[in-house]
Structure 1
Amino acid sequence: MSKRHLGLAALLLFSVTGLSALPVAPAHAADASVDCDLRFSLKGWSIIYKHAEGQGTVVCNNGQRANVKISVVGGGLTAGKYRIDDGKGAISHVRSVDDVFGDYAQAGAEAGVVKSGQAQVLTKGTTSLALSGTGEGVNLGISVGKFSIERVH
């Protein structure tokens, strides 16, 4: 299956499962002029149920920053074990670093052996999170779930 077909399958799965019905913050697009970058590492596994955990740092262009914990949970037709070492995320449409925290709707199609790669765009209300990363592992399938970012105190 080509990357284009995997992307279309993930989009279809996302719209069919109704993940857009997840609770979202009220829209403040006119006030949302801060952009933030997320750097993270993540490791996880999936056998129908998907689970991953990691940590990272969020740095915003207004000088705010925060150490974060990341968790991914979900399900679907997936199997594998993977690790992402140098993940990057671009977060847009926020007013401050506080708007970054919470649950993002996730749908994805993964395929990789030994050297894994992943790229996704996730949403939480009007906030967008574009993720990319490379690592190692074996993963195959289509999944839906949530990508959560929590502040580490």
Structure 2
Amino acid sequence: MIKRTLALAALVVCVGGMTALPVAQARAAESKAVEAKVDCELKYKLAGWSILYKHAEGSGEITCNNGQRASVKIKVVGGGLTAGKYRIDDGRGAISHVRSISDVFGDYAQASAEAGVVKSGTAQVLTKGTTSLALTGTGEGVNLGLSVGKFTISK
């Protein structure tokens, strides 16, 4: 009777150990998936003007390396010593330090220096908490000045 009880206990321990291993492996894989690095890319067009007050609007598409996508609206407002009218036709943005596409939406702090006549270009890095957005783009217009403001991405 004691031998049967010990054999049954050993069997239960072995079966329990065999089921615990796959569960532990699944939990480790799930934890790595949650911590996986997500990078997103923004392609956009933007047009605006400035005379002390800066205003621009546009649209774009965000794609992330985890398969998430979204069409977005972009709005830029701010102020400073600026004057001009411009258009960005081929804008691109690299968005980092996000866990999902929902972290991309919101207001980014912006400070910029612009100088362009006819062919115009931009390059700047914006932040929203720990999320970073590095923008580049080319277009046309006349713009000159220094400004601060916010760059908003919405659905």
Instruction: Identify whether the pair has TM-score above 0.5, normalized to the shorter chain.
Output: yes
Cα distance in 2 for residues equivalent to 1:96 and 1:58: 11
- Report the counterpart of residue 87 of structure 1 in structure 2: 91
Q: Deviations over 1:57-88 (max 9, x none)?
A: 00000000000000000000000000000100
The SS at the match of 2:149 is strand
Tell me the TM-score normalized by structure 1: 0.78
Identity %: 80
Structure 1 runs, 4 residues or longer, greater than 6 Å off: none
Could you say which structure has the greater relative contact order, defined with CA pairs below 8 angstroms and 6 or more residues apart?
A: 1
The SS at the match of 1:62 is coil
| Backbone CA RMSD of aligned residues | 1.1
State whether residues 43 and 84 of structure 1, in contact with CA within 8 Å, keep that contact through their aligned partners in structure 2. yes
The answer to whether 1:131 aligns with 2:144 is: no
Aligned length: 122
Distance apart, 1:46 and its partner CA: 0.1
Give the letter aligned to residue 33 of structure 1: K
The answer to whether 1:109 aligns with 2:118 is: no
The SS at the match of 1:63 is coil
If you compute each CA radius of gyration, which structure gives the higher value, 1 or 2?
2
Cα distance in 2 for residues equivalent to 1:80 and 1:95: 37
The answer to whether 1:144 aligns with 2:148 is: yes
Structure 1 stretches of 5 or more lacking a match?
1-29
Structure 2 stretches of 5 or more lacking a match?
1-33
Cα distance in 1 for residues equivalent to 2:44 and 2:142: 19
Cα distance in 2 for residues equivalent to 1:32 and 1:105: 26
The SS at the match of 2:102 is helix
Write 1 or 2 for the structure with the bigger share of helix: 2
State whether residues 32 and 94 of structure 1, in contact with CA within 8 Å, keep that contact through their aligned partners in structure 2. no
Distance apart, 1:33 and its partner CA: 1.6
